[in-house]
Chains A and B, each alone.
Chain A
């Protein structure tokens, strides 16, 4: 029954999304107050029906209802509860329903909050309705999770073992809150173009909370994905520049640019057209990212069994959404009013540079990711561009951006004074220089890049502290940016530490043999076979020595899941918070001898800690926004200025 209920709920949701699309766009005209009420009602109704459908699917997974194909294929009764739940979105059909659920939640929030006035909200709901209808059609016609299986099997096939992991369970919803959140700012941008002035002037302010939520979720989602890759893949790396990772990085870069540019639009009326374009671009990139990841163009745990009609459908959807939005932009953007003038040295210029660097960085990732695919499709020539490509393109652009980060917030709007801005930051410059000198003198191997990264991190971190001290007592939102920028510095330290100063040992060891890696001495005590519920594996016992005494025992494992034919390495990581000792068991070379990979990664945990700090900055900014929601005392002078 639940299957049919879910399917029916999806059909109702589709009908309501079409109503919402029509009524919402009609409601953009001043006289159509009834249409606006209908759009609002339809939005709430659609949200409820999608919740029902998702609830029905989750119930089917919880009760292991193998008469549903998706449940039989991706779940089993033996799975722990949490993986029965995460199995819901571990496959194409379920993940599309999750996408839809998140979209419904954002739609409900837009309708309830009604930010930016009735007409803007109505038009935004109209655009959300169009998007929701497209995705619901996609789900109903090509990827329904409610298809039946006859006869129902006794036991399901089980969840991909690589995904039976807390990190992998939480990562997709996080990322979807990011991707789909960008559809909300996209909807507001399109709405601004539809309603025109003067309501359109509010769009950046109205969409801000959605941008912030999307950005925070993307930041956390990317960090989770990178952390998962670090501890499961056994290569000791945290970022591999593969297409799947890049697909999530590109929307993040543009969303970051959007957050900054929208600030200038909101407070000064500057970059109006550009900010709209960025909102369109950000969502386009999340659609393209989803397409790349899901279409089977790339091979990974993410590419679910692919079906050409699905890929084609998504391509058409992308073309319509992006093409439609760009056409609307070309038609309506010239009616936007230009913002107030500014001098070359000003907050506006700083934000402009931020945008230029971020978009250029995104362009290099885009080319590095899509060029090989395009070349393969066009000529059959198979190439890869590896990390060295991104090291010489992405890294310098991002580095240049980081150097400017502390200056931006210290420059005044319209006309700033560079000298005045830098003066309070002298301590930061001092710390940066000191960090570079110390790193060059002390750290081995000596690394110019490492010294540069530490100097940059020092510059960012100390400037953030100065900024936070200055703003003490001010609204939370005021130092949210400083905290997010400090997060960048923390991540940078971690990245520099692991990339430059990681020690590595790759050895063939027999029982009782010792090895050293970095400052650690390890003793290999041999390997025992383990029989798991659904895998067979080899479990090594490795002692961390302190002189002749055993300080700790570590157990890296190598597992083969026979039913799925998968090989999973279970790494053993011992962290001090500032340094990781990382062990991955290799392959059996006979006579009790095994290959073993050991890494000592200084500062590795900071990579993900920094991402958390960035997200915290976003959360503070959001909290400040929502608290100061009522009237707009701050914006009155800004509007007066903008009108100059």
Chain B
């Protein structure tokens, strides 16, 4: 084999090994780390298992917000069909309001309460998370121009 061919071979082998390795890493990581978005209706319809991390989005149900001990806060998320209780311990975004859209990341516990680890902090009063808009459209509860 000429040195040139040998070099080409190394080059090709390195690329194949590296891209193979990267592809394997990526695929296995995707399998374990994809976080799905679910509307409240989907949460019940799909029987999402406790402990599985996902994002839930909908409207904060009117008059559902109550404060627990410490920084704990309880409220429910609804798409006006199904309502899911949420518990969150943390700082709420300043524009978190009853009747407004919200997206939370977390998992259900055994009792069916969504334990949120993160409430999406959107910085805009007029902004409605696109996922929430879609979820409301699916449940037929979307009114253009407002989430209130």
Contacts and interface: CB of A to CB of B under 8 A. Distances in A.
Interface string B3-29: 110110011001100110110011011
Interface stretch (B34-42, B77-85, B108-116, B140-148): B34-42
Q: Which range holds the interface residue count of chain A? A: 35 or more
A393 B25 contact: yes
A364 B24 CA distance: 11
Given A338-B4, A397-B25, A506-B71, A567 B91 contact: no
B14 A384 contact: no
Contacts, number: 128
Interface in A572-620: 584, 586-587, 589-590, 595-597
Contacts of A382: 36-37, 131, 134
Given A507-B71, A560-B94, 20 more contacts: A233-B121, A349-B10, A352-B14, A363-B26, A382-B37, A382-B131, A384-B55, A389-B33, A392-B25, A392-B33, A393-B25, A506-B90, A508-B70, A565-B95, A566-B123, A568-B123, A586-B71, A586-B90, A595-B90, A595-B92
Nearest to B23: A363
A275 interface: no
A149 interface: no
10 contacts: A162-B123, A368-B26, A382-B36, A385-B34, A388-B33, A389-B33, A392-B25, A586-B90, A587-B96, A590-B67
Contacts of A567: 93-95, 121, 123-125
Interface in B39-61: 55
Contacts of B95: 560, 565, 567
Q: Which of B25, B55, B70, B127 has the most CB of A within 10 A?
A: B25
Interface of A: 162, 233-235, 299, 301, 338, 341-342, 344, 349, 352-353, 356-357, 359-360, 363-364, 367-368, 371, 380-386, 388-389, 392-393, 396-397, 506-508, 558, 560, 564-569, 584, 586-587, 589-590, 595-597
A560 B125 CA distance: 10
B30 A389 contact: yes
A301 B124 CA distance: 10
A566 B21 CA distance: 44
B29 A392 contact: yes
A506 B72 CA distance: 10
Nearest to A560: B94
B26 A364 contact: yes
Interface of B: 2-4, 6-7, 10-11, 14-15, 18-19, 21-22, 25-26, 28-30, 32-37, 55, 67, 70-71, 89-96, 121, 123-127, 129-131, 134
A566 B33 contact: no
Interface of A is mostly: mixed
Given A565-B124, A586-B91, A587-B91, A360 B18 contact: yes
Contacts of B22: 360, 363-364, 393, 397
Nearest to B129: A299
A299 B130 contact: yes
B91 A364 contact: no
A462 B37 CA distance: 46
A55 B134 CA distance: 44
A351 B129 CA distance: 45
Contacts of A371: 30
A396 B94 contact: no
A299 B4 contact: no
B92 A586 contact: yes
A393 B26 CA distance: 6
Given A356-B14, A392-B29, A385 B91 contact: no
B18 A357 contact: yes
A299 B127 contact: yes
Contacts of B94: 558, 560, 567, 569, 587
